[in-house]
Every structure is written in C-alpha cells, then in structure tokens.
Structure 1
Amino acid sequence: MKNEFSWLDILVIAIYFISITSYGLWLTRKVKNSDDYFRGNRSFNKWIMIAQGFGAGTHSENFVAQTGASFQMGFASIWYQWKNLVITPFYWLIAPWYRRSERTTVGEIIEDRYGKKMGLFYSIFAILFFIFAQGAMLKGAGKVISIATSNMISTDGVVYAMTVAFIIYSFFGGLVSSAYATFIQGFMIIVLSIMLIPLGIGEVGGITGIKKSLPLHFFNLFSPELGIGWFTILMLALNGVIGITAQPHMVSMCATGVTERAGRIGQTYGSFVKRTVTIGWAFTGLIVAALVIKNGVNLDDPEMAFGYATRELLFPGLLGLMVASILAANMSSASNFMVNTGALFTQNIYKGYIKKNPTDKELLWTGRLSSLFLTTLGVIFALYINSVLNAFLFTETIAAFMGIMMFGGMVWKKANRYGAIMAVLSSFILYYYLNYIHAGSFELVYEWRPEPFGWSMLMGFGMLVLVSLLTKSEPKEQTDKFFDNLLRLSDEKRIKNGQKPLAAEMGHDLLLLDLPSWFTKERWKGFPKRYKEDINGFIFAWLFVGCLLLLAWGILQIF
C-alpha cells in the first residue's frame, strides 16, 4: 500500500502553517524591549518551561536518526538518544546555575568566570554550534518529508520552505513567540511519535509478525554485539552531562522561568517527556524493519525509514498531519536556536566589541538581523551533510569538549582561563587525530565512536587541572563575586546590604558548586536543610529514570 500526497494533506499543512505563524505573530505584541525578545522577561510558568525543555530539545533529526538506527540495528540503538536518560536528574542540579548568573547568554557567564576574551571564544563556538545544529535538524526534516511526499518536494526544498516559516514569527516575536508556539507544537510532536505504531503493527501481522521477521537481538535493551554496551552508554552519558552545560541555549531553557523551580522542572521534566516519546521512535524503527521485509523492498539509507513508514501507512489527511508534526518538531527547536544565536552575537560581540553602550532598540534590531543572517548559514550546512545521526552526535560532542570549560569552572574554583583554553583545544585536537588515524582521511563530521571521545575527554579534564595549577589564578575578586552570585536565591526580591539572601537559608544551596570544598567541615554544616531542594528533586528524578527503564523493558518482554 502506497499513499499518495493529496490535496487534503496540503490543506492540513496549510492550516498548520497559517495557524502557528499567525499565533506567533500575535504574540509579538508582548515584545517591548530586548529582554522580552531574548529572555521573555523571565516570566514563563512551569508548563511553558516544560514545553521549551521538550520542544527545543526535540528536533526532526532525533526521530529520523533514532528510527533509522533501530531499523538498522534494533531497539538497543535507543541509547544514542537515551544517552541523556541516566544524567537527566543532574539537570535538576545544574538548572539554577543559569538563572542565578543573571545573564542573557552562556557567553556572558563564561566571560564572568574567565574574562572577556574567553567569553568571545565561547560565543564564536556557540554560534557555530547553532549553525551545525540547525543544519542537522533541517536536513532531518527534509529527508522525512521528501520521501513521505513521494519526492513531490525535494529534501533541499523542504529545508528552504521550513526556514522561511519559522523565521517569520521568530524575527519579530523572539523567545516569547518561540516559547508559546513550542507549547502548541509539543503536542504535535507527541502525536507524530505514536501515530505510526498501531497502523504499522496491523500492517505487518501484529507483534507475532514483527517477531518472525526480525532477529532476536533486535529486541534487546542492551546489545554489546552491536557496539552498544555499557562502555558506549557510559561515554554517551558523559557526552550528555558535560555537553549540556555548555550548550548555548541553556539560559533560555533554564533561566527564563518565573522562578528557579520553574526552570528546574522545565529542563528536567521536559527532557523526561522526550525520553518517553523516544521509545515510540525506537519501536517505529522495528516496525519499519518488518514492513520492508514484508513488502520486499530495500532502503538504501536507513534514515529514510521514518519517511517510508509515513508514506506507506498513513491515509490522506493523516499524512498531512504527520508532515505538519514534523515541521512542528523542527520549527520549535529552530526558532529557539535562532533567537539564542541573535542574543549571542548581540550581547557578546556587538555590545562588547562593535558598539559600546548601544540603545535598547539597537540591541533588539541587532539581535533580529544577526539571527536572520546566522540562520542562513545553518541552511548552508544542511545542504552539506548527509548523515543526520552523525551530524547530531557531532554537535553534541563539540559541546562536550566546550563543556569541560563550563562544567569544570563551576565545580572547581581554581580552574582558570589558561587551563580552560588548553582543555578545549587539546580535547578537540586529540579527538580529530584519533578519528583521522582510524578513518585514514580528514572529515569535519566523523562517525561517532566511544573510544576517541573517551580519551579526548580524559585529556581535556587532565589539561584543565594541570594547566590551572601551573598558571596564574583568576583574580580573587572576580572569582568570589561569580560564586557569591550562585549562592544567592535569584527568586528573592528582598535586598539586604545590596545583596539577595543566601539560598542556603531557604534550603536551596547547590550541591555541585565547587566540589573540592566537600572535604571541608563548612560544607557539611546543616547538610540536609541547606540542600533540601537539590536532594529531594534529584531523588524524585531518579525514580522517573527507573520507571522509564521498566517501561521499555516491560514492552520488550511482549516481544
């Protein structure tokens, strides 16, 4: 059965485009100044923050790559996406870092910690990160929609059309339009994650038909034979926990809520929603693997699996809804990234190096225009890459190397700019060297392997410690001011002696700050009371991890 793209599908997509663009433009009335545009005036409730955490963290390349991977390798490939499952509880602990910084971008946080030049260095990386990430998600959506529409629209054509769509409301509405539009689009992403499963199971003869069609190892939760064992999962988790701290949209994800707790809930449980729907993507891959065997066809590119299933299983109208949902997944992330790209250029480059003391109106329009230009570069990268999975892991990996600087600077007061720069450079150089030796040629985007990544991270952290100990420390006044800010609850409006009250007084002290101080008596005074918010939220998040693992394991037992 092959369903053609019909006028009804076009109508559904048109309704989606008109509705979401109109809604986004309607929200632009809330944008009065640059802070509204870049941070939404830190006014989002926990539900909008959850939607941001889910929508901005869920891109078209995620389900394209995951469905393709499980189609090719089996369910255990879920760990390419679930690499962050076991570290999601740590999001509860790190989310307040960004709100307490009182900054608009991660680049400004790096500048406060290591100095102005390091802030510029990070900002250049962050802009490149957004370009690469946008390219990967645009390519992912293009691949799916192209095959779902029977090539009525080319992959590159989808890339162009989608870019124009999310630019329209993001350009004027900034993070306000992006966040509220993402709340709507989040429901559509959930729809696309489960829509194919019941139809696909029926088409391949039920669960029995899937079991007969595929090898037994396709139904394992772990698969060392496929290179997805404990070491790979550990390296993927390390990639996630270090890399997430340096991802440049973390301020918008964690610091734009009306309270610190809203930011914690949004980043942690928005991520858990993504981990849940990932199960749907993985099972969709198994269904497609059985479907192509039944139909006697061959997919040259595994990453076409999701698009193939969409075209084969969905009827007119539903096919259009699926395409609209794919667009929603992409536009929610791309819109957030676009606004953050503009914030980085405006706050860290334009304001710091091009024009001193600009007016708020100049900042607002600089953000809009720079985000437009830099998003265009993301389109160019989308036209360059071929493998969505490798591009996805590439962006996560380069963030992890930069994360050595960010994470290390938070958990160790003695980290300095010399150690930070050497950590980043040495990890990048070793990573590319080891991959070059393995592949025999230089490439910008290598297939991700755990061994080069692990050695590179070890080198990076080693250089951070060694060089920081051997070189001049950061100015004490600068370091003390930076960490003092992180010890004070950002929610509080009360000001005493020019400062907000200490978070420890209300049970909101942060566990991960300056880990070496745990060897001092001072750190253990009133421990349960001081860290109540961190401890309770961390434990509760681990319960969610256990529930998701049990859910996946339980479903696999059916097979």
Structure 2
Amino acid sequence: MRIFGLSVLDVGIILLYLAVILWLGRRSQRRTKDTGDFYIAGRRLGKFYQFFLNFGHATNADQAVAVAREVYRQGIGGMWIQYLVLFLTPFYWFTSAFYRRARQVTLGDFYSERFRSKFLGGSFAVFTLVMAVIGGGVGFMVAGKTVEALTPKPAELYTVAETHSVEMFREYQALKQKLDLGLTVADKARYDELNDRFKKGELRSFISHIDPLVVYLVYGVIVAVYTMMGGFIAAAFTDVIQGFLIVIFSVMLIPLALNQIGGFAGLHARVPDFMFNLFGSVTTSEYAWYTILAMVLANLVSIIASAPMMQTASAARDENAARFGMIAGMFFKRFLMIFWALAGLLAVGLFKGQLHDPDLIWGYMTLHLLFPGAVGLMLAGILAANMSTLSAASVTYSALFIRNLYQPFVSPKSERHLLFIGRIVIAVTLAGGIGAALFVGNLLDLFKYFISMPAVFGASIWLGFIWRRLTRWAVIIQIFVCFGIYAVIPNVFQSWDWAKSNAAFLRETRPRVVRLVTEALQEDVDAGRARAAGEKIVKPYAIEPTAVFYEKVVRVRPEDPDSPRIGIGRFEAEVWVLSWLGIDFTRFTKAQLVATRFFFDALFPFVLLFLLSRLTRPLPKSELDSFFAKVHTPVQPIPADDERAVEEARAQPEKFLRRKLWPRSNWEVMKPGRADILGFGGTWVLVGVIILLLWLMVTIR
C-alpha cells in the first residue's frame, strides 16, 4: 500500500518524528515562565545546546538543495553559492563575542542603544521581519519540492496539458544536447521557443500528486505549534534531535549513488572534467574565483546582521559558550556540505537532463536511490533541517517585534500579554513564509537576494561595534539609499511594464562558442570522438547570451520569433548604477556580472557611511564611553558578577585606552590577546583542512 507514492513505513517514520517534536515542544512549555525564558532561554544555555542551536539554525535543507542544484548546473564550482560561508567562519570568533557582550536580546536593541534611536531599532525590526517572510519561504519551498519529487504521478493520469508540458521538456533536452555541435535553422528556432518556455517555467519533467500548498500548510502548522509552546527553549531541545537527523539526510544518498555509478572512477567517466574544477571555470561557470571573492565580501558584511545569530549568542551562559557553539556548529556544517556537493556531482552522472527544475534534484535522487523506510528517514531529516531553522528564527522575529516595535510604543504590559502577542507574531511570520514560497520561482533567486539584502544593515553594525565616529544620521541615510538600490528598484523594475520592455534594459552578453580541452566521457567514446574515456579531446562549448540587467530576457510569445522581448526576474540595480559610468557590460561574462553586483553590495554601504559620518555629528562622548566600556568587558557567568563588572568599566572607561590598537583614534579595536590569536588563527587552519578535503573529493578516482 502506498500513500501518494510513499510507503506506509515512510509515512509512519515521518509521523513519529512529528509527534516527538510536538511532545518536546509541550515539555519545554513548562519551563517557559516569562519573555526572558521565551526569547533567550534565561541566558543559561551552555556549550552543548549552543552547538546544536547554531548547527541547527545554520543548517537548512534548502542549503543542501541549493548546493546540489548549483553543482548539478555548474559543476563543483557551483557549490560556492553556499560554500563561500567557509571563509566567513573565522570571523564568528569576533561576532559571537560582540553579540554576547552587547548584553541585549535583539539587534534592534543594539541600534537603539548604540545610536540612541528607537527609529533605527524599529527600522531594523521591520526590515528583518520582511526578510523573515522571504527566508521562511526558502524552508517551505524545499520541503514542498522534495515531497513533490517523491510523489510523481503516473503518466497515464496526466491531463492533456500536463502531457504536452512533459513532452516539450523531453524535446527541449534532446535539442539542448545537440546545441554544442550546431543545430539546423528549424531546430534552432524550435530550441529558442522551447528555451523561452523553459525560462518561463512552462516545461516540466514530471507531474506530482501533491500540491505544494498542502505541504506548506501542514509543515507550517507543526512548526508554529511547538515553537509557540516553548519558544527558544523548545528550539534548543528539538535542535538536538534534529541535528542527528540532519547528519543522516546529508550522507545517506552518497554510498548508494556511488555504488550505482561505479565509484569515483565511474563518476569521472560520466561527468565532464571541467565540472570538477574546484573554483569554477572562468569560461563555463557563473562562479569564477573573483565571483566567489565578491560573494564572500558581500556575505562578510551581511553575517553580522543575522538577527537569529544575535539571539542565539545572547542565550549563552557566557561568551566562551557562545564562541564555542557558533564556531563548532558552523564548522560541522561546513564538513557536511562536502557531502552535499558530492551529491550534486553524482546527480550529474546519474540524472543529467532528466529534470525541468534543478531544485528537485535532492528529492529525485531520494526517490530513485533509497528504499522504503530510508525515504521516510530522509524526509524526516529534511523536515528537521528546516524546522530547526524556522523555529529559532521565528522566535527571533517575535522578539524583534515585541522589543523594538511593540513595547516602545505601547503602555507597559504584563509578561503574559507580551508572550501572547509574541506567539501570534510567530504564526504570522510563518504564514508569510508560505506566501513567499508560493510567489518565488526558485531557490537560487532567494539565495542571491539574501546575500546582498542584509548588507543594508551589516555595514553599520560592523562599524557600530568598532568605530566611534559613526553617526546616527549617516546610518539612517545609508540605509535608505542602499535599501532603494538593493530592494526597491529591483522589485519595482521587475514588475513595471515600462522597465521590463525598455530596450536599454534588455541587453544581453554576446554569445560565444569556445573550445575546451577536456577528458572524454563514455558518451564521447560512443559517438566516435575518442578511443577511450579519459582521453584528452577538444570539444566545442556554446555559451549562450545572458541578460545584463535582468535575470533573464525572454520573448512574450515563445512560439513567435518576432515577438517582443521582456526582462523577467530580479532587476540588477547595482549593475545599472555602475553602467552610468559608461561601462559596457555586454562584454562581460556571467561570472563577471555576478561579481560586479556583489562587489558593489559589499563596498558601497561603507563608502556612504564614511562620507556621511564626516558630515554629521556623533553621539556625546559620555554615551559612547558607556557603550564601548560594556562591549570591551568580558561576560561573567554569574549575572550579579557581570553587572558589577560592567558598572566598574563604565566608571573607568579610560582604562581601555592602553588595550586599544590605535589608542588616540576613533577606532575601538583591541589588541589581540593570546586567545584571539589562537582562536582566530586556529579557525583558518580548519578552513584549510576543509578545502583539502574538498580537493581530495574532486581528485580521487
């Protein structure tokens, strides 16, 4: 007996997992007495729970799907859309200490204190709540697409329209395989039509029994119930179980896929060797080394604006627990990401050209490689990975609303009232995530959006912790300008007919055909282009035009070669602004366009803040002394001792002068101690170890 394509055993495993999670939520509710317990677990979480909270919050199934998706599309270099965070991990040594020493609950509280501005605190809360809706959409989308891939409808049950869509997809893939060798005029016209239909989402490789909306609703209700019951304590408890399930879902596909493909030797025989280029190919990949560098910089600016990270660190007993939990949890995630990337390569070898949507690859591999029971365990792992993130994040967003949008503007309310309102906010943010999942077409759009958007606030948080001269008005103006470029213009131009059809915005890069020296695959041997797999041969590789200012440029009516074209997807406002300088972006590659956008996202906010701060007045010295004295004071495990230490530091702020790297400047950067040198340096050693493991993975045969 099967239920929507799943065995009874699989369904039973999923239901058991959900029951355990709800039971833990109910148990944790008994330990939640006030908002301090609900939002930061009473600041009593040690290294064990900090590890699982950070690992669980940071490790989402959507990231595994995104890595596998991009490797499936681009080769191993595509993994950097997610794996670029590897180079950010050492900086958590500092951010975790900043968060905990701020001794606040939310980053909105940081803005309110550092700049004496409830407006900035509230603005950050509004921004983060909007981003929460988008972020929630990622988790829902992964759950929905995975279930969709696991529940294919038999072809005999297709409607006429569904049959036509699947047949067009197969025709499209057949023509695409011939593209490098050249198409006839008629075939090229047909390919262009089908390619436009594919970009618009009209082609499908299969049809599912399940409507994703049903998955979103059931999934959302369960997350809402256990999180609303126990708050951050529930998130900490459930993250322990979910952490183990995340490990299972990350590795269980690998041995079965390797066995089916014939080990690493079989993998190299079926996958082009340029797809094993660790840092991508400048010619064929969207992720060249400079693209990765640009995305790393943009992400480095953004990471400190992570509201859930602030709250997780704030829940730690002291800064040592916060540091250990964040760094250990993050590095364990980086290790598991190696398996996600390998899954993407294996998918290329086993299922290349079989899917209309690369986001489905994880579910498709699960369906074709796993057995009953294992499928249910995989689904439970995917649900666990997303639930662990959504639960902790939704508590964070609730705290932001209560502390930075509700309490500052209403008369004092009871703890019971605040908890009631906070729980409603959790439900609302999760519902918003469902809406985002229904609206956005694919995960890559969301990930690229996420990298740049937090940079709107990230630059001012970094400087707020280390530069006294940063002013309130500089931050306000910078936020509005960057928000306009990063969010308002892209979204307005994405939906404005004038912009979408404006010829100036429909420019594309120039198509090229390059010749690559590559190792022959088995298909090359079968076609007579090589004598044996692995032999060096020269193959043509067609690089199709890519849109400069939009994600894609398509014909309104794909079947009509003379149809007017329009831009769809995100409008790249950063590239547009730089085009005012006279740069001809049609000569750029896709990798260069992506790099341009993210270099702008990373650096432009700092340029504005430095310039504007020189033109505006900072806070009084006494207020700045009070803030930085607190930030420079290590957190004590016992609350009474910690309060005493902060009071003493504020009474003698001048004692920190001799510890500053530049004592007579506005920079509040302390001289590194032995622990900082060992901690920060040691994390870079671990980065090297991870890269070594990646290199071994792509070179082993």
Q: Which of 133, 153, 157 is the equivalent residue of 2:210? A: 153
Q: TM-score, normalised by structure 1?
A: 0.91
Task: Provide, for residues 182-204 of structure 1, a one-character-per-residue CA deviation record: whole Å limited to 9, x for no partner.
Answer: 11101111111110000011112
Contact 2:469 2:666 in 1 (8 A): no
Whole-angstrom distance in 2 between the partners of 1:318 and 1:203: 17
User: 2:587 maps to which residue?
Assistant: none
Q: Which has more radius of gyration? A: 2
| CA displacement at 1:514 relative to structure 2 | 8.5
Contact 1:428 1:456 in 2 (8 A): no
Whole-angstrom distance in 2 between the partners of 1:510 and 1:78: 44
Contact 1:412 1:514 in 2 (8 A): no
User: 1:130 maps to which residue?
Assistant: 132
User: 2:336 maps to which residue?
Assistant: 277
| CA displacement at 1:495 relative to structure 2 | 6.3
Does residue 466 in structure 1 map to residue 608 in structure 2?
Answer: no
User: 1:488 maps to which residue?
Assistant: 633
User: 1:268 maps to which residue?
Assistant: 327
User: 1:116 maps to which residue?
Assistant: 118
Contact 2:636 2:642 in 1 (8 A): no
Q: TM-score, normalised by structure 2?
A: 0.73
User: 1:252 maps to which residue?
Assistant: 311
Higher helix proportion: 1
Seq. identity, %:
30
Counterparts of 1:162-173 in structure 2, within 5 Å, are: 162-173=219-230
| CA displacement at 1:49 relative to structure 2 | 0.8
User: 2:599 maps to which residue?
Assistant: 454
| CA displacement at 1:405 relative to structure 2 | 1.6
Number of paired residues?
545
Whole-angstrom distance in 1 between the partners of 2:12 and 2:364: 21
CA gap 1:517/1:383 in 2 versus in 1, 3 angstroms: farther
SS at match of 2:323: helix
Q: Which of 334, 357, 379 is the equivalent residue of 1:323? A: 379
Task: Provide, for residues 322-355 of structure 1, a one-character-per-residue CA deviation record: whole Å limited to 9, x for no partner.
Answer: 01111001110011111111111111111011x2
Task: Provide, for residues 89-118 of structure 1, a one-character-per-residue CA deviation record: whole Å limited to 9, x for no partner.
Answer: 110111111112221111111111121111
Q: Which of 395, 404, 410 is the equivalent residue of 1:348? A: 404
Whole-angstrom distance in 2 between the partners of 1:50 and 1:481: 31
| CA displacement at 1:423 relative to structure 2 | 2.1
Contact 2:102 2:631 in 1 (8 A): yes
Higher strand proportion: 2
SS at match of 1:87: helix
CA gap 1:444/1:376 in 2 versus in 1, 3 angstroms: farther
Contact 1:391 1:445 in 2 (8 A): no
| CA displacement at 1:4 relative to structure 2 | 4.6
| CA displacement at 1:427 relative to structure 2 | 2.8
Q: Could you list the runs of 5+ residues in structure 2 that have no partner in the other structure?
A: 153-207, 494-504, 506-548, 551-565, 573-589
CA gap 1:434/1:359 in 2 versus in 1, 3 angstroms: closer
Does residue 333 in structure 1 map to residue 389 in structure 2?
Answer: yes
Whole-angstrom distance in 2 between the partners of 1:510 and 1:219: 51
CA gap 1:518/1:68 in 2 versus in 1, 3 angstroms: farther
Task: Provide, for residues 451-486 of structure 1, a one-character-per-residue CA deviation record: whole Å limited to 9, x for no partner.
Answer: 122123322111101111101222333322221110
| CA displacement at 1:441 relative to structure 2 | 4.6
Whole-angstrom distance in 1 between the partners of 2:422 and 2:660: 34
User: 2:683 maps to which residue?
Assistant: 541
Whole-angstrom distance in 2 between the partners of 1:4 and 1:174: 35
CA gap 1:198/1:520 in 2 versus in 1, 3 angstroms: same
| CA displacement at 1:134 relative to structure 2 | 0.6
User: 1:372 maps to which residue?
Assistant: 427
Q: For 2:483, give the aligned amino acid.
A: F
- Name the Cα RMSD after superposition: 2.7
Whole-angstrom distance in 2 between the partners of 1:523 and 1:44: 28
CA gap 1:175/1:521 in 2 versus in 1, 3 angstroms: closer
SS at match of 1:44: coil
Contact 1:42 1:255 in 2 (8 A): yes
| CA displacement at 1:500 relative to structure 2 | 5.1
Task: Provide, for residues 265-319 of structure 1, a one-character-per-residue CA deviation record: whole Å limited to 9, x for no partner.
Answer: 11112111111111111110111111115xxx62111111111101000000000
Contact 1:38 1:339 in 2 (8 A): yes
Whole-angstrom distance in 1 between the partners of 2:332 and 2:603: 31
CA gap 1:497/1:333 in 2 versus in 1, 3 angstroms: closer
Task: Provide, for residues 383-404 of structure 1, a one-character-per-residue CA deviation record: whole Å limited to 9, x for no partner.
Answer: 1111112202312321122201
SS at match of 2:447: helix
| CA displacement at 1:494 relative to structure 2 | 2.7
Q: Which of 263, 266, 270 is the equivalent residue of 1:209? A: 266
User: 1:90 maps to which residue?
Assistant: 91
CA gap 1:418/1:442 in 2 versus in 1, 3 angstroms: farther
SS at match of 2:49: helix
Whole-angstrom distance in 1 between the partners of 2:664 and 2:257: 53
SS at match of 1:472: coil
CA gap 1:496/1:346 in 2 versus in 1, 3 angstroms: closer
Q: Which of 454, 469, 474 is the equivalent residue of 1:419? A: 474
Q: Could you list the runs of 5+ residues in structure 1 that have no partner in the other structure?
A: none
Contact 1:41 1:256 in 2 (8 A): yes
Contact 1:24 1:169 in 2 (8 A): yes
SS at match of 1:81: helix
SS at match of 2:392: helix
Whole-angstrom distance in 2 between the partners of 1:496 and 1:423: 34
Q: For 1:377, give the aligned amino acid.
A: G
Q: Which of 347, 350, 353 is the equivalent residue of 1:291? A: 350
Q: For 1:27, give the aligned amino acid.
A: S
SS at match of 2:87: coil
Q: Flag the structure with more relative contact order, 1 or 2, with Cα contacts below 8 A and sequence separation at least 6.
A: 1
Whole-angstrom distance in 2 between the partners of 1:12 and 1:38: 31
